[in-house]
Amino acid sequence: MAKHQTQEFLVTTAAPLQLTRNSETGACEIYNHGPNPIWVAVGQSVDCVKNKCRKIAPESTWQLSTHFNVALWAIADTADQTTGLATILSEFS
């Protein structure tokens, strides 16, 4: 039976935040519920700042399939996120 787990993260402009993954998942969806874009990188936090790998607009998602021990990093584009307007990570196994 497939499992589903959802976590909420508050992404800021200060530094990349690692989106902690469950050790049993492969596929995930990152949903930006915040009022401003966020940047998400796969692999290293430095990529999140320098390369700005993937921009997720407000109220948009990015679905990806990657091993659970591959790090995901996020940083806010222009303003910090607040409770109720956060980044949602949904994982599926």
Instruction: Please answer whether residues 42 and 66 qualify as being in contact, where contact means their C-beta atoms are separated by less than 8 angstroms.
Output: yes
pLDDT at residue 3 in the model: 65
Q: DSSP string spanning 34-93?
A: SSS-EEEEES-HHHHHHT--EEE-TTEEEEEE--TTS-EEEEESSS--BTTB-EEEEEE-
pTM of the model: 0.88
pLDDT at residue 88 in the model: 93
CATH numbers and ranges of domains, the chain? 4-92 (2.60.120.10)
**Alpha-carbon gap, residue 21 to 37, rounded angstroms:** 21
pLDDT at residue 17 in the model: 93
Judged by average pLDDT, the poorest of 1-5, 70-74, 86-90 is 1-5
**Alpha-carbon gap, residue 37 to 92, rounded angstroms:** 24
Q: What is the pLDDT of residues 8-63, one digit of tens each?
A: 999 999 899 999 888 778 889 999 998 899 999 999 888 887 667 899 999 999 99
Q: With left for phi above 0 and alpha for psi between -120 and 50, is residue 33 left, alpha or beta? A: alpha
